[in-house]
């Protein structure tokens, strides 16, 4: 009887839907890593072949120039195009794997996942901090710590489990190409950036939870991820590339994360494409630095949009120039147009608040974090998550960056 109840809860929460203007059901989460697999490969022009796009690219426009669609039924195909562009120009491919190549079990309160590939193995161990009780529990995957840089009490008070992702088990913070753990499995992808490798590791942990099943005591339909700074970028990429993640909270992700490369190029001493950490991306990406940034066919509002129709909360901190929060603000406004088009704008919010240390959540941002956690990890659909807080940028003309939003 208990198993039937668990299955019923899974199905109910997985397919809770809202109805957009085109009457398409809009899932809150999926039970597969990527629903956009299987679409045709698109043309990926070189730097010399690329057309300059001075404003933010249209997230709804087909890559072949044949038109655009704001209909949810077309979003899987458009996601596929954006993923292909992100991985080709910035990251390298996120390797695919069969679950037949995985082993997983619980060692007390630690999830152990072993990946087998080409005669090599890679072991992931993730400690889980459980609430009291039997579960299954919603869970937050925190980069480095069970709740990332967010206060533990937000999750502990809500009986949400915390899963610590040790990213160094996959690739170090400043990788040496060819010498990282993941390189043993995929020597053909030695050029990959860390933001392809780390999300791969997160996905293998979720695979492990699925393999372990009830023994994990985790509610697989209510998994979130969070991190701050470089780990905030990591959370964003993980949420973008794995649709089993119901909620992504990207805390102060800066350049290479939420920020638009194009907008950042117009600001001061900030993390532009040419100034970001080279080990996190493909070396070939850096040919698009400075004036060439307008030749990229995509930008990071589209990275964020890959999370749609699932939930995303972006937290910003304007006290640090390097974080380029004006760029974050513009990119958030642009990305949010995707959720708006599907009639689910309550699933994407942003909060940019001053007067606090880097990666230290101020009390003024607790309400929005708690609201998104309550709604998308605990299933409290009555909670209001319409959050667009950035008072210091109220006079910024973000619309000039998105002429397509007026179409």
> Is residue 407 scored above 90 in pLDDT?
no
Domain count for the chain: 1
> Is residue 127 scored above 60 in pLDDT?
yes
Confidence of residue 318 (pLDDT cuts 50, 70, 90): very high
The verdict on whether 222 is a catalytic residue reads no
CA distance 69 to 57: 14
Predicted confidence at residue 4, as pLDDT, reads: 39
CA 15 to chain centre: 21
pLDDT tens by residue, 30-87: 999 999 989 999 999 999 999 999 999 999 999 999 999 999 999 999 999 999 999 9
> Is residue 3 scored above 90 in pLDDT?
no
Q: Are 332 and 300 in contact (CB under 8 A)?
A: no
Higher pLDDT, 3 or 339: 339
Helix, strand, coil shares, percent, the chain, to 5? 40, 20, 45
CA distance 12 to 23: 19
Query: Residue 348 is part of a domain; what is its CATH number?
Result: 3.40.50.1820
Catalytic residue (choose from 80, 216, 221, 229)? 229
Average pLDDT over residues 392-402: 97
Q: Are 146 and 160 in contact (CB under 8 A)?
A: no
**Could you list the residue range(s) of the whole structural domain that residue 209 is in?**
2-406
pLDDT tens by residue, 232-255: 999 999 999 999 999 999 999 999
Confidence of residue 16 (pLDDT cuts 50, 70, 90): very low
Nearest to 168 by CA among 111, 126, 119: 126
CA distance 12 to 55: 41
pLDDT tens by residue, 356-367: 999 999 999 999
Confidence of residue 190 (pLDDT cuts 50, 70, 90): very high
Nearest to 246 by CA among 222, 210, 218: 222
> Is residue 304 scored above 70 in pLDDT?
yes
Which position has the token pair 């307008």? 294
> Is residue 18 scored above 90 in pLDDT?
no
> Is residue 14 scored above 50 in pLDDT?
no
Higher pLDDT, 17 or 225: 225
Predicted confidence at residue 406, as pLDDT, reads: 84
The verdict on whether 386 is a catalytic residue reads no
Predicted confidence at residue 126, as pLDDT, reads: 98
């Amino acid at each position: 009887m208990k198993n039937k109840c668990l299955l019923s809860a899974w199905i109910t929460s997985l397919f809770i839907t809202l109805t957009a203007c085109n009457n398409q059901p809009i899932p809150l989460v999926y039970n597969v890593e990527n629903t956009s697999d299987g679409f045709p490969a698109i043309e990926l022009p070189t730097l010399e072949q690329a057309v300059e796009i001075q404003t933010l690219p249209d997230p709804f426009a087909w890559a072949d120039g044949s038109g655009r669609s704001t209909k949810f039924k077309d979003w899987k195909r458009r996601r596929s195009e954006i993923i292909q562009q992100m991985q080709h120009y910035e990251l390298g491919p996120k390797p695919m794997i069969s679950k037949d190549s995985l082993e997983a079990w619980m060692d007390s309160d630690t999830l152990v996942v072993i990946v087998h590939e080409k005669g090599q193995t890679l072991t992931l161990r993730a400690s889980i901090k459980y609430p009291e009780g039997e579960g299954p529990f919603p869970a937050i995957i925190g980069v480095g710590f069970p709740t990332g840089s967010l206060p533990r009490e937000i999750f502990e008070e809500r009986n949400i489990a915390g899963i610590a992702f040790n990213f160094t088990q996959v690739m170090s913070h400043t990788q040496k190409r060819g010498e990282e753990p993941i390189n043993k499995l995929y020597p053909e992808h030695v050029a990959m950036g860390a933001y392809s490798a780390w999300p791969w590791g997160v996905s293998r942990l979720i695979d492990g939870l699925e393999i372990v099943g009830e023994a994990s005591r985790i509610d697989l339909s209510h998994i979130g991820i969070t991190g701050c700074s470089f780990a905030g970028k990591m959370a964003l990429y993980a949420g973008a590339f794995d649709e089993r993640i119901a909620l992504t909270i990207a805390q102060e992700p800066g350049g290479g994360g939420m920020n638009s490369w194009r907008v950042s190029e117009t600001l001061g001493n900030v993390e532009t494409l040419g100034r970001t950490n080279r080990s996190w991306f493909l070396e070939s990406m850096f040919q698009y630095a400075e004036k060439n940034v307008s030749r990229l066919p995509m930008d990071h509002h589209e990275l964020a949009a890959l999370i749609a129709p699932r939930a995303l909360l972006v937290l910003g901190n304007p006290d640090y120039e390097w974080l380029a929060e004006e760029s974050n603000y513009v990119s958030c406004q642009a990305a949010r147009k995707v959720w708006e088009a599907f009639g689910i704008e309550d699933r994407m919010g942003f909060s940019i608040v001053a007067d606090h240390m880097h990666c230290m959540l101020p009390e003024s941002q607790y309400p929005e974090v708690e609201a998104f956690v309550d709604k998308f990890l605990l299933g409290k659909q009555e909670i209001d998550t319409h959050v667009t807080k950035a008072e210091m940028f109220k006079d910024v003309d973000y619309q000039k960056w998105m002429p397509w939003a007026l179409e």
